[in-house]
Each structure stands twice: as structure tokens, then as C-alpha cells.
Amino acid sequence: MGKDKLKRFAEVETFNNVIQPDIKNLDSNHETKGFWHIKFGNSNPIILELGCGKGEYTVGLAKKFPNINFIGIDIKGSRIWRGAKTCIEENIQNVFFLRSKVDFINHFFDKNEVSEIWLTFSDPQPKKPRKRLTSPLFIDRYKKILKKEGVIHLKTDSDLLYEYTLDEISSKNYEIINHCNDVHGFIKNNLSQKTQDILSIKTFYESIWINDGKKIKYVCFSGIHNV
């Protein structure tokens, strides 16, 4: 492991906006479950980004919506370090980062505690559809924490994951709120100005993919509690 990564691991331990639970105790509920309003010091809506990487989307959303609380979740502490450090440097108060696998999400959030979930450039898992973050396995986990009117956003460069998600939405009769197969192209004009503004946030790798000619897809849906 490189010196820079070791330095980040050590530094992230000191950040008060990062929660790193002991993985040995993840068979039980974490102390934050049901009490995120205390961590944030308010009862504002909570939005999660699952598999947040360096937190670019979490931070970008938090800047646009200071009256909403955001939590970026990723298993890699060296990735979380970047987003958490940016929030400290820029005094962004409405963000926490949680180091955990998405599989354990129900140990950290209570029923109706989450308003929205963002899935940004998730692994499409070409050989393991069950592990896709829009598979029935994960949707069932989201049901246990998402408000009844809550929504799920998927932003992806993967045709496979985009089409799979649309098929799941159709087969389960979920409600599509928005979808677009080229969010940075002319088709984006079908989206509201607010949605276009949100989707204008770009991660580092997203910018590279766009320059390489890849189209970025987006779908927003709700109604998972109706099934």
C-alpha cells in the first residue's frame, strides 16, 4: 500500500464527518440507525448516494441543496477521504460519509428515514444480476428505509444496467418519473430545468467517458412500496 493511501487512511480517522463502523459488529444495528437527525442537528430530508466513490456527487448535491442532508456510502476509506476533506475545507455542514458495503444498509437506517437514493455509476455486474443495485434483492433493502413517496435515481454509463433497470421497473409496475438515455445530449431537453441542473454534476470519470463519446443514462423512479 502506498504512502499516500496510508496517510489518507490515518487522516480520515480524524474526520468528524466520517463514520467507520467496526465491521465485526455489522451483524447488529449501528447506533446511528433512527438517529441521523441528531447527527445532523436537524430534521431535514436525508438523501443517500450508494457507492459514492470520492463523493463528487454527494458534495455537488449538498452544495445545491443546503437544506437537505446527504450521506455518501462507500466501502473504500481512501475514496471517502476526498469527499470528506472537501466538505471540511469548504465548510459544507450537510454531509456525512459512511464507510460500509451497501449490503449492510439496513443496519444504519430506520424505516422511513431516507427520502431519496442515488446510484451513481454503479458496477453493472454483467455476470451477477442479483448483485446489481437495482435488483430485487437491493430494492427490498431500500423498501425498509425509504419513505413511501421516496424515489431512486440511477445515473450510469452502462447500457446493460440502464436497460436492466427499465425492465425491472416495467415488470414490477414501479412509476417512472424521468428517464433519458443521453443526459448531456439534445435529448436532455425533455427533462425539467431542475433535473438538468442536478444531472449537470459530473464525476471525474464521467467527464472522461463523455470525452470518449459514451452516453450517460438516467432513470428516476418511485412506487417500490406498492409491490
Catalytic center residues: 123
Per-domain residue ranges for the chain? 3-20+33-226
Per-residue confidence (pLDDT) for residue 187, from 0 to 100? 60
Per-residue confidence (pLDDT) for residue 186, from 0 to 100? 64
Q: Residue 213 and residue 211: Cα distance in Å, rounded? A: 5
Per-residue confidence (pLDDT) for residue 7, from 0 to 100? 80
What global pTM score does this model have? 0.95
Per-residue confidence (pLDDT) for residue 182, from 0 to 100? 92
Q: Residue 117 and residue 34: Cα distance in Å, rounded? A: 17
Print pLDDT tens along the chain (227 aa). Answer: 566 777 888 888 899 999 999 876 667 899 999 999 999 999 999 999 999 999 999 999 999 999 999 999 999 988 999 999 999 999 999 999 999 999 999 999 999 999 999 999 999 999 999 999 999 999 999 999 999 999 999 999 999 999 999 999 999 999 999 999 999 886 666 788 899 899 999 998 899 999 999 999 999 999 999 87
What count of other Cβ atoms lies within 10 Å of the Cβ of residue 58?
32
Instruction: Extract the C-alpha cell encoding 69.
Output: 442532508
The domain 3-20+33-226: what is its CATH number?
3.40.50.150
User: Contact 134/168 with Cβ under 8 angstroms?
Assistant: yes
Per-residue confidence (pLDDT) for residue 28, from 0 to 100? 81
**3-state SS of the chain?**
CCHHHHHHHHHHCCCCCEECCCHHHCCCCCCCCCCHHHHHCCCCCEEEEECCCCCHHHHHHHHHCCCCEEEEEECCHHHHHHHHHHHHHCCCCCEEEEECCHHHHHHCCCCCCEEEEEEECCCCCCCCHHHCCCCHHHHHHHHCCEEEEEEEEEEECCHHHHHHHHHHHHHHCCEEEEEECCCCCHHHHHCCHHHHHHHCCCCHHHHHHHHCCCCCEEEEEECHHHC
Per-residue confidence (pLDDT) for residue 30, from 0 to 100? 93
Phi then psi for 203, rounded to 5 degrees?
A: -80, 170
Amino acid at 68: I
Per-residue confidence (pLDDT) for residue 60, from 0 to 100? 98
